[in-house]
Amino acid sequence: MPNTSATIAGVHFKNPIVMASGTFGFGKEYGKLYDVSLLGGISGKGLTLHAKAGNPGVRVYETASGMLNSVGLENPGIEAFLAKELPYWETLDTARIVNLGGNTLPDYVQGAELIQRDADQRALAGKPAVDMIELNISCPNVKEGGIAFGVKTPAAQEVVRAVRAATKLPLAVKLSPNAEDIAEMAEMCEAEGADAVSLINTISGMKIDVRRRSSVFNNLYAGLSGPAIKPVALRMVHQVAHRVSIPVIGMGGITSATDIIEFIMAGATVIQVGTYNFMNLRAGSSLVEELQQFMHDENISSLDEIRGIV
Amino acid sequence: MATVISNERLVNGVYHLRVEGDYGGTMGQFYMLRAWGAYPLLSRPLSIHQVNDDGVEFLYHVVGEGTEIFAELTPGDQIQLEGPFGNGFPAVEGKVALIGGGIGIAPLYYCAKELQGSDIYLGFSREAFRTEAFRPLAAELTVDVGGLILDRVDFTSYDHIFVCGPHPMLKAAQLKGIAAETTGKRPKVYLSLENRMACGIGACLVCSVSCRDGQRKACADGPVFLAEEVLFHD
Ligand SMILES: Cc1cc2nc3c(=O)[nH]c(=O)nc-3n(C[C@H](O)[C@H](O)[C@H](O)COP(=O)(O)OP(=O)(O)OC[C@H]3O[C@@H](n4cnc5c(N)ncnc54)[C@H](O)[C@@H]3O)c2cc1C
Ligand SMILES: Cc1cc2nc3c(=O)[nH]c(=O)nc-3n(C[C@H](O)[C@H](O)[C@H](O)COP(=O)(O)O)c2cc1C
Ligand code: FES
């Protein structure tokens, strides 16, 4: 069997297939359809310190080869997650990643502290805890916070530095394709002690209802994901992977084993699968199988052989 | 993958699809369907019209890209189904009215079969379809073309009312339920909501419904909601 495993800051991924935040809930729903422990990892729905109701109005619109979403970080809040969802994660044999969002700097910091405290308690009790924090400074769908931090490097730097100081957990920073300079942003993350960078989040986009003469979204703009963004995502992963020495977690429009291989060849250590989960509810299990088959057919014995080869 | 048994055009733009296989489900639940590869991206939710030993049936209105592809299906074609999803209508007792507007009659046929002897109200804007199938299942069948079907229903004379139809009709039914309450008669009104969906299983939160007790998911907590719980914003 080809070796598909990877390691980021001591966190083991049995394969590079991680489910992307916001497209996999906390895994329970998909867990009814297949064994989610087959996966390399799960990045849970983006959490904020306090529960968030998300955006009103239309939240999804299909586009050519993609979709726009305007969920607006609806989530139960970190404490509810720790109490109600983490016990399910304990039962899984896969990397557990908490995706952390926020409105303000103190939100991010307090959120990270809560997660760290819980991880400490779990470590004492010998229980599995969160393996990694994925810091989301790139959500295009919340007015305050989110993307506001993710566009300009100095603003992002402040958040990354503060969160790095608040947690010892492995930290990946999720970057926005809407950043002014994504490679510079990644270099800053590395300098501030991030263990990895994740990219890309959705690309800010728009849809107009011509009969109503208005945007279909209350927030005007929404986040574009799916195969439509894959070429952009791949280019950014390639660009960033050649500028930093920390691992890159790549994503954007992945729907097949060959897509995964492209991202690995561009320099990604592991990848995430988002929108494809909606196109194929069994995306995780079918990709795990497809990747094995592809590597076997192409005589690739380990992903390390091809990582960053382009 | 499942096989299409038949895909009959009932009237202009409305089709009755029968799919072979061992597909379960209760009244008001739905399936996510796709009859294509990668594009269109998302699967389409359709309510169960009925389930029987041969398979599962749907009634759908052709409105866009996905349902246009469904309309091209012929017997023997392959189609992908995931489900059944959603909570469905509750099994109730007492005097029941089923009210459907247009393609909203789709899930009510299964309700009519399960709750035989209900009063059934079917409203259409232009052309009626599938009404004769409902007749033997109804205590009384009222069909209306061109009017407002809700005007034909006395909400105070029922214990339970199931409604499926366009958005304005659902809002109006909620108001009629509240008005009936003031007369002392309190029908429990259930609405089946048709929010846009992506996953269909409760993971993505794009189908969120504002309810009295906070945000709920149309796909997993619904599509059926007690009318009084739903907050209609527009
Ligand atoms: C739980 C549920 C049950 C449904 N049951 C039925 C049924 O039994 N019969 C039937 O004819 N229709 C039903 N609908 C509506 C049906 O899903 C849409 O008409 C269909 O998805 C339109 O797809 P399209 O590709 O033809 O249209 P397009 O306009 O090309 O679709 C674009 C996108 O919008 C979504 N969309 C468009 N219209 C609707 C709508 N009214 N509701 C939800 N999403 C929509 C599509 O799913 C797709 O993602 C149901 C919807 C839901 C949520
Ligand atoms: C419905 C939806 C919700 C999302 N929510 C989050 C989120 O809460 N946090 C986050 O960091 N990214 C979120 N994302 C972005 C995805 O994790 C991913 O970065 C993006 O969709 C690109 O990958 P894809 O093309 O494979 O979907 C969301 C995406 C979608 C489609
Ligand atoms: S459609 Fe994904 S949560 Fe309802």
Over range A3-15, report the average pLDDT.
97
| Predicted TM-score of the model (pTM) | 0.95
Mean predicted lDDT score pLDDT of chain A: 94
Residue A59, chain B, CB below 8 Å: the answer is yes
Mean predicted lDDT score pLDDT of chain B: 94
Over range A212-226, report the average pLDDT.
95
Q: Is the CB of B187 under 6 A from ligand 1?
A: no
Contact B41 A54 (CB under 8 A): no
pLDDT band at A166 (very low <50, low <70, confident <90, very high): very high
Q: Is the CB of A274 under 6 A from ligand 2?
A: yes
pLDDT band at B234 (very low <50, low <70, confident <90, very high): low
Which residues in chain A have their CB less than 8 angstroms from residue B82's CB? 281
> How far apart, in whole angstroms, are the C-alpha atoms of residue A164 and residue A112?
9
pLDDT band at A144 (very low <50, low <70, confident <90, very high): low
The pLDDT of residue A168: 96
**Res. A3: pLDDT tops 60:** yes
Over range B36-56, report the average pLDDT.
95
Which residues in chain A have their CB less than 8 angstroms from residue B39's CB? 65
More confident residue, A150 or B197: B197
How many A from CA of A106 to the centre of ligand 2?
23
Q: Is the CB of B206 under 6 A from ligand 1?
A: no
Atom in ligand 2 nearest the alpha carbon of residue A275:
27
Over range B75-100, report the average pLDDT.
96
SS (H, E, C) chain A: CCECCEEECCEEECCCEEECCCCCCCCHHHHCCCCHHHCCEEECCCECCCCECCCCCCCEEEECCEEEECCCCCECCHHHHHHHHHHHHHCCCCEEEEEECCCCHHHHHHHHHHHHHHHHHHHHHCCCCCCEEEEECCCCCCCCCCHHHHHCHHHHHHHHHHHHHHCCCCEEEECCCCCCCHHHHHHHHHHCCCCEEEECCCEEEECEECCCCEECCCCCEEEEECHHHHHHHHHHHHHHHCCCCCCEEEECCCCCHHHHHHHHHHCCCEEEECCHHHHCCCHHHHHHHHHHHHHHHCCCCEHHHCCCCC
The pLDDT of residue A141: 57
Name residue B102's amino acid.
G
- Interface predicted TM-score (ipTM) of this complex, two decimals: 0.93
The pLDDT of residue A154: 87
Residue B211, chain A, CB below 8 Å: the answer is no
The predicted-structure confidence for B109-120, as pLDDT tens digits, reads as follows: 999 999 989 999
The pLDDT of residue A146: 54
How many A from CA of B104 to the centre of ligand 1?
11
Neighbours of A3 (CB within 10 A): 14
Over range B122-151, report the average pLDDT.
94
**Res. B61: pLDDT tops 60:** yes
The predicted-structure confidence for B178-197, as pLDDT tens digits, reads as follows: 888 777 777 999 999 999 99
The pLDDT of residue B185: 72
Residue B32, chain A, CB below 8 Å: the answer is yes
Distance from CA of A55 to the nearest CA of B (A): 9
Distance from CA of B203 to the nearest CA of A (A): 4
Q: Alpha carbon of A131 to those of A8, A86, A193, A196: distances in Å?
A: 10, 11, 17, 13
Q: Report yes or no: B67 and B60 within 8 Å, Cβ to Cβ.
A: yes
Residue B198, chain A, CB below 8 Å: the answer is yes
> How far apart, in whole angstroms, are the C-alpha atoms of residue A94 and residue A282?
17
Q: How many residue pairs from chains A and B have C-beta atoms closer than 8 A?
A: 85
How many A from CA of A226 to the centre of ligand 3?
16
> How far apart, in whole angstroms, are the C-alpha atoms of residue B82 and residue A137?
34
Over range A183-211, report the average pLDDT.
96
Instruction: Tell me whether residue B94 is exposed, middle or buried, using C-beta atoms within 10 angstroms of its C-beta: 0 to 12, 13 to 18, 19 or more.
Output: exposed
Which residues in chain B have their CB less than 8 angstroms from residue A279's CB? 38, 41-43
> How far apart, in whole angstroms, are the C-alpha atoms of residue A235 and residue A240?
9
Contact A58 B202 (CB under 8 A): no
Is A225 marked as binding a ligand? Answer: no
The pLDDT of residue A142: 56
The predicted-structure confidence for A96-143, as pLDDT tens digits, reads as follows: 999 999 888 899 999 999 999 999 999 999 988 999 999 998 765 555
Contact A226 B214 (CB under 8 A): no
Residue B196, chain A, CB below 8 Å: the answer is yes
pLDDT band at A239 (very low <50, low <70, confident <90, very high): very high
Q: Nearest-CA neighbor of B32 among B177, B196, B174?
A: B196
Catalytic residue numbers of A, as ranges: 139
Name residue B202's amino acid.
G
Sign of the C-alpha dihedral computed for residues A104, A60, B34 and B52 taken in this order: positive
The pLDDT of residue A115: 97
pLDDT band at A200 (very low <50, low <70, confident <90, very high): very high
Which residues in chain A have their CB less than 8 angstroms from residue B210's CB? 53, 56
How many A from CA of A182 to the centre of ligand 3?
31
